[in-house]
Amino acid sequence: MFKPLNPILHSQLRLAVVSLLIGLESADFVFIKEKTEATAGNLSVQLDKLEKAGYITIKKSFKGKRPLTTCSITQKGVGAFEDYVKHLKTYINK
Amino acid sequence: MFKPLNPILHSQLRLAVVSLLIGLESADFVFIKEKTEATAGNLSVQLDKLEKAGYITIKKSFKGKRPLTTCSITQKGVGAFEDYVKHLKTYINK
DNA sequence: TTATTTGGTTTATGTTATAAACTACTTTAT
DNA sequence: ATAAAGTAGTTTATAACATAAACCAAATAA
């Protein structure tokens, strides 16, 4: 009846990040921070968890002289998201 | 873009409980426990939180000689659930 | 040159979720 | 009658989580 929800995605910020990255080639730290209205600290931590779960990849580089952190969703991440949504529906469809 | 999710409902078990109670006149502790597959301890704690939030009412009585805990959703609970689902959609509709 | 801003990371703290242990009683078996 | 097992929960201890605050390194502005 109530299928277990993936705890990695059952977090407001991590879900927002994954949701944002879906359909996007990639997005950088600052962009994600602005869209999700997260604090930098929290975002840093949660991106790490998503990466460790294999749901996103994080690439570090420089834009000019400044550090640039670029994130992309992986196939595994897309699959997990779709699964999460499917399971969520067992909760929200009355 | 990403509306904040009500933290009281953004919990697997509490969401399952509210989801279950919607459309039901009432349900007792054991029934809810079975349907949600929660442990009794966790369920006890989470029902308490839902009651303190005003989302459900809890009535204690006896069925024969045994204690009976009966839960019903309140109007406030129904409203919060509907709101939660609406906000969730900002996350899950791509 | 010192102050501020940018782009983050680390750390400390409070909150949450959960299982395990416990309470209080009832029913069943001996 | 008494011990063992079952029912219906609650309380408590612990681990996981979310978050803000403090921090770091470098760049830019004053």
Tens of pLDDT, residue by residue over A31-67, are 999 999 998 999 999 999 999 999 999 999 999 888 9
Beta bridge partners of B56: B73
Do the bridges between strand B27-28 and strand A56-63 make them parallel or antiparallel, or are there none, so unpaired?
unpaired
Residue B93 is predicted with a pLDDT of: 73
Residue B24 is predicted with a pLDDT of: 93
Q: CA A89, CA B1: separation in Å to the nearest integer?
A: 21
Which residue places its CA closest to the C1' of nucleotide C18? B42
Q: CA A67, CA A90: separation in Å to the nearest integer?
A: 42
Give this prediction's pTM: 0.91
Q: CA A56, CA A17: separation in Å to the nearest integer?
A: 10
Are A16 and B36 in contact (CB < 8 Å)? no
Residue B92 is predicted with a pLDDT of: 86
Q: CA B39, CA B41: separation in Å to the nearest integer?
A: 5
Residue A92 is predicted with a pLDDT of: 86
| Closest Cβ–Cβ partner in B12, B20, B85 for A5 | B12
What single DSSP character describes residue B21?
H
> Which residues 6+ apart lie within 8 Å of B92 measured at CB?
A19, A85, A88
Amino acid at B75: Q
pLDDT band at A13 (very low <50, low <70, confident <90, very high): very high
Are A19 and B88 in contact (CB < 8 Å)? no
Q: Is pLDDT at A93 greater than 80 in this prediction?
A: no
Beta bridge partners of A72: A57
Q: How many CB pairs under 8 A join A and B?
A: 44
Amino acid at B60: K
* Helices A75-92, B12-21: inter-axial angle, 10-degree rounding: 40
Please list every residue in chain B whose beta carbon sits closer than 8 Å to the beta carbon of residue A10.
10, 12
In the predicted model, what is the mean pLDDT of residues A16-31?
93
pLDDT band at A94 (very low <50, low <70, confident <90, very high): low
**Local confidence pLDDT in tens for the 94 residues of chain B:** 888 899 999 999 999 999 999 989 999 999 999 999 999 999 999 999 999 999 999 999 999 989 999 999 999 999 999 999 999 999 987 5
In the predicted model, what is the mean pLDDT of residues A86-91?
92
Q: CA B16, CA B32: separation in Å to the nearest integer?
A: 9
Residue B23 is predicted with a pLDDT of: 86
Taking the CA of residue A41 and the C1' sugar atom of nucleotide C13, their distance in angstroms comes to 14
Q: CA A60, CA A69: separation in Å to the nearest integer?
A: 5
Residue A1 is predicted with a pLDDT of: 85
